[in-house]
Amino acid sequence: MSPGASTMKNNNIAASLETEVAWFMQVCDARFEAYFKADHGGVDLARLCPPPDLSERDCPYAQLAREYNMGFAERLVLMLAFMPHLRPQVLDMFLLQNAALGRGYSEIGGWRGKLHSGFLPTCETAAFLLAGADIGLRFKVSQLFKDDHYFTRSGMLKFEHEASGEPMFGSALILSNEYLQRLSDGEVHKPDFSASFPAKLMQTKLDWTDLVLNPEVMDEVEHIVTWLRQPQHILRAWGLEKSVKPGYRSLFYGPPGTGKTLTASLIGKAVGADVYRIDLSMIVSKYIGETEKNLANVFDQAQNKNWILFFDEADSLFGKRTQTSNSNDRHANQEISYLLQRVEDFPGVVILATNLKANIDQAFARRFQSEVYFAMPDAEQRQRLWQGLFTQPERLGSDVDFQAIAEKYELAGGALLNVARYAAIRAVMNGREHLVQDDLIAGIGKELMKDGKTL
């Protein structure tokens, strides 16, 4: 997009939001007027302050409101969560002090940030705007904060409540970063790798035709692809909605370099789903409760997204439980129980990969929909892998014989990649424009030495 077009787009978004901000301020003024100057008198804010018509607007906010068919209450709560980012001074009126008590009003709610000096809303703030002192309306407002509401299901809003035993309306009302960016510039951004989201988006330039697996493994992989393409149809058409959970869990196991990670990437590519590789080094913590918290951050952000979560070297996180001889053992077992619960309840696809299946706790294994064993490729598969690596025949010397080296040397696909890189570097160092068989043999020797073997 050109700078001029980008500026025009931002101006259009800003102009549309100005109208919604003006309406939000009108509602706030009406609520304060009715509550503090009319002796808590009831007022129908939806009738008194009807929201602007969005049917002809093309800004991200209007698109989102139409997508979810938002009413007065939903739009007001969304704008309340958006306002600290959009125009924080609008919320300064909520800092009103109770002169008799020398503090803020309990019914207004709110919380204070570490750096932000303005007012930050809570669910109590939303209830104050929508219900005032009406208890019946307050009960209706609480429906907006339930897990089955699209605010939560879509990840649009977060309701953070960290104080055990305190009222749930004290939860911080937070607009998620994903929707903040969408409302600000109209773009759907993918989450960045960070401490709060320790996962990296996996991408590959390879295609489905580049995947070399034996027929039994391909059949298992096709099962996962079929599920991903039409999970709801499978559940409804066969009457399984009541008894089968919507998620899918699979264990990939086998020697290193046999295609577990590539297969996960290509499954996502085949169905148009993002695959996120979880960085276990940032998940696992020696401090009690931190591992669960870190994992919750990932699952919470992935909830109801069309994502595949890929846990490589999963035995470090999903390992076997031990006999409880001390508090550390009990805590480790609690971690595994928590992981089990989150994985089982996740409505998307979770793929665990490990070199050794025996290291995975059996409680997880019983809940896998599939277990896929990635064996070392046979001679025919190795020949296909060799040929797939070198797509420019003119770069190969006349003595290169993939069939011969495929039959003689048992190597996994990952090792073949290392051989190909080494052979290409060796050819360049020797001033050649093509590879010779000796380049490949030398590279194979290097790989075999890693396992203590020789040519």
Q: Parse the chain into domains and list their residue ranges.
A: 3-185, 199-373, 379-450
Q: Are 234 and 227 in contact (CB under 8 A)?
A: yes
User: What gap in Å lies between CA 118 and CA 94, rounded to an integer?
Assistant: 9
Cα–Cα distance, 135 to 154 (Å, whole number): 28
* H-helix segments, 357-436: 362-365, 379-389, 402-408, 413-429
R_g over Cα of the chain: 29
pLDDT tens readout for residues 366-382: 788 899 999 999 999 99
Sign of CA dihedral 147, 310, 353, 251: positive
Note the pLDDT tens digit of each residue in 10-68. 667 888 899 999 999 999 999 999 998 765 557 889 999 999 999 888 889 999 999 99
pLDDT, tens digit (0-9, with 9 covering 90-100), for 395-443: 999 999 999 999 999 999 999 999 999 999 999 999 999 999 999 999 9
Are 160 and 58 in contact by the 8 Å Cβ rule? The answer is: no
3-state secondary structure (DSSP) of residue 72? helix
Whole-prediction pTM:
0.72
Strands 370-373 and 248-253: parallel
Helix (H) or strand (E) holding 91: none
- For residue 300, the 8-state DSSP code is H
Indicate whether 4 pLDDT > 60: no
C-alpha to C-alpha distance for 83 and 330, rounded to whole angstroms: 44
- Strand boundaries in 223-283, DSSP class E: 248-253, 274-278
In the prediction, which pLDDT does 5 show?
52
77, containing H or E segment: helix 72-86
Angle ∠(112,103,100) on CA atoms, nearest 5? 165
CA 62 to CA 298: how far, in whole Å?
29
Identify whether the C-beta of residue 248 lies closer than 8 Å to the C-beta of residue 231.
yes
Strands (E), 189-295: 199-202, 248-253, 274-278
Whether 199-373 and 379-450 share one fold: the answer is no
pLDDT over threshold 80, residue 190: no
**Which pLDDT does position 411 carry in this prediction?**
93
**For range 287-305, the mean pLDDT:** 78
Q: What is the pLDDT of residues 63-120, one digit of tens each?
A: 999 999 999 999 999 999 999 999 999 999 999 998 888 888 999 999 988 889 999 9
Please tell me the class of the 379-450 domain.
mainly alpha
Residue 389 to residue 378: CA distance in whole angstroms: 16
Residue 423 confidence (pLDDT): 94
Can you say how many angstroms the Cα of residue 444 is from the centroid of all Cα atoms in its chain? 39
pLDDT attached to residue 11: 67
What does the mean pLDDT of the chain come to? Answer: 87
Element (H, E) at 175: strand 172-175
C-alpha–C-alpha distance, residues 203 and 395, integer Å: 27
E strands within 288-428? Answer: 307-311, 349-354, 370-373
* CB-based contacts of 186-194 (< 8 A; 24+ apart in sequence): 186/9, 186/13, 186/59, 186/60, 190/274, 191/301, 193/279
The highest-level CATH class for domain 199-373 is alpha beta
C-alpha span between 309 and 200 (Å, rounded)? 10
Amino acid 323: pLDDT: 47
User: What b/e sequence results for 339-351 when a residue is b if at least 16 CB atoms lie within 10 Å of its CB, and e otherwise?
Assistant: bbebbeebebbbb
* Cα 445 from Cα 281, distance rounded (Å): 32
Q: Which two tokens stand for residue 400?
A: 């290169």
**pLDDT tens string 303-320:** 778 899 999 888 777 765
Would you state the pLDDT for residue 425? Answer: 96
Residue 134 has pLDDT above 80, yes or no: yes
CB distance 81 to 171 below 8 Å: no
Q: Per residue in 135-166, pLDDT tens?
A: 999 999 999 999 889 998 888 998 988 777 88
What is the token pair recorded at 389?
């690596």
pLDDT of residue 362: 77
| CA–CA dist 94, 121 (Å, integer) | 9
Please write the tens of the pLDDT for every residue from 217-275: 999 999 999 999 988 888 888 888 888 888 899 999 999 999 999 999 999 999 999 99
